Amino acid sequence: MTSRIFVSICGFCATAAACSSGDGGATATSSDESRALAETCGALAGRMVPPSSIALPTGGATVSKATVVAASGATPEYCKVEGAIRPVDPTAPPINFQLNLPSQWNGKAVHYGGAGLGGLLVTGVDNVPAASANAASPLARGYATFGSDSGHTGPTPADGSFALNAEARANFTGDQLKKTHDTAQVLIQARYGAGAQRMYFAGGSQGGHEALLVVQRWPSDYDGVVAHSPALSFTMVMIAGNRVAKALYAPGAFLNSNKVATLRSAVLRACDALDGVQDGIVSDTRSCETAFDVQNSRCPGGGEFGDWCLSDAQIAALNTMNTPFKLDFPLQAGLTDHPKWPIYQGAEIVFPFDFGMSPFPSRPPSPFNAGLHVLSDAVIRYFVTKDPNFDSLTFAPNAWRNQLIALSNQTDAQNPDISAFEARGGKLIIVHGTGDFAVNVGLTNAYYARLVSTFGQARADSFLRYYVIPGLGHGAGTFNATWDSISAIENWAERGQAPANLVATDANLTTQGRTRPMCRYPTWPRYTGPNPNAAASFTCVTQ
């Protein structure tokens, strides 16, 4: 990467005209240049990327299609490159990828992360996770963009059957990121005559996990990384999901969607106004821990009396979730604890993690019930036990200790020593929501604390920002936060302008346009008035 930085800036521009801007920005090209770029696009079809150009073992890569896509709306003309990275094991599936090369290139690239257990092609054409409505997509800004299917195809992002193949499993647990990155750089070089001057990564959930993986494993490849709701301890999240499922499958414990609404309403009655305003958002989650008492929602005598109250069996399941979980052995980086789910502090149990989308949880689970069980069940059967017929509701972590440790070391992103990323000038922004019921924000809080312990606060602040947003769920929530992450990360990485006074905008239809300050953890937004819909009316506080 260092050698690329010191190449003349004109080596990274699609045309000589683009270099005249002095910052690698996209500029208009002549009709002759457009025709030439179209010709170079078509020439990529059938191109081979040799195994020697990819740092990890592969059978090389091949471009199957390369076609010019005409400009449409805000999306400019670009060369759509489709291809596959061949495996070493002939029985393993390939890594399918898509690379988008704009005709007016800004000399930079964005690598997109995936979702769930992968299996669906990430095209890189749409905007990055949580992008605000008025923020141009990376492709519209002139970035080359790319993503993959994580090394297998599947009917849903909850299909784990691919993991029975060792190479497919290794690809999903991180290798596909490096292989796709290296392949994209070769093809970017082939199209423009130079590799990307700046490389960024953006992802949420599993993509957020991948964002932290590239920081930890391949720190020299990326100038800036944005990780939303990162499932950084993939293994612990799956074990915790299994624990939740067992609690919900107990007799009488299942909560239908009306029961979930009853719980949500009770939490809001107790906690909504603690931050100074009743707006459907619990911002003062710490005070909410003591303000809310689930027993106030108990049905008479603890029996089942309808959707307006909670039975003892349902409260027992909820209390299990509201209790920390501790393993008897350490996972990667010594992790043994999963924090309690903040269901009594404002976390929103919503689709697709709503317990009540069917009358009772099915066996095997569907995406519409039992919380994270739809993913944890697949991981336990295919990644851990390697037995598709295993009943995951009988899973005992201690009996599978060695397999869980191996999985954690292979896939998790818990390493706090990211000094190599810091040393190369990399910048990292992490964002998580208090309402996330898919990936526990407490895990990210704990990782951030380890980063600060490793580097010290001042040094961590020089390359790291962590924001926790009240009301934000797993990509939705009462406050569906959107913001311009690409501008924030590129301004920091390229111009040394650290993020300051960031504002998130709610994308929900009923509250669309209201804003909140993005408060750096551990601060949270307290209402000071006068306008509950304006970020300026909130102050980030710690008490």
Q: Which residues are catalytic?
A: 205, 436, 474
Q: In the block, which residue shows the tokens 């801007």?
A: 21
Compute the 3-state secondary structure of the chain and give helix, strand, coil in percent, each to the nearest 5: 40, 15, 45
In angstroms, what CA-CA distances link 533 with 36, 472, 511? 50, 16, 9
Q: What is the DSSP letter of 504?
A: E
Cβ(429)–Cβ(485) below 8 Å: yes
Query: Two tokens at 32?
Result: 């002759």
Cβ(279)–Cβ(268) below 8 Å: no
Query: Two tokens at 271?
Result: 């906690």
- Helix axis angle for 312-321 and 234-249, nearest 10°, is 170
Cis peptide before 530 (omega within 30 of 0): yes
For 56-117, give the DSSP string.
S--S-EEEEEEEEE--BTTB--EEEEEEEEPPSSTTSPPEEEEEEEESS--SEEEEEP--TT
Nearest to 226 by CA among 204, 250, 198: 204
CA distance 505 to 517: 9
Residue 481 three-state SS: strand
CA distance 266 to 30: 63
Query: Two tokens at 230?
Result: 């990162």
CA distance 309 to 17: 68
Sign of CA dihedral 303, 304, 308, 314: positive
Long-range Cβ contacts of 263-272 (<8 Å, 24+ apart):
263/294, 263/297, 263/310, 263/318, 263/343, 263/349, 264/348, 264/349, 266/292, 266/294, 266/296, 266/297, 267/292, 267/343, 267/344, 267/345, 267/346, 270/296, 271/345, 271/346
Nearest to 118 by CA among 23, 285, 231: 231
Q: In the block, which residue shows the tokens 């100038």?
A: 223
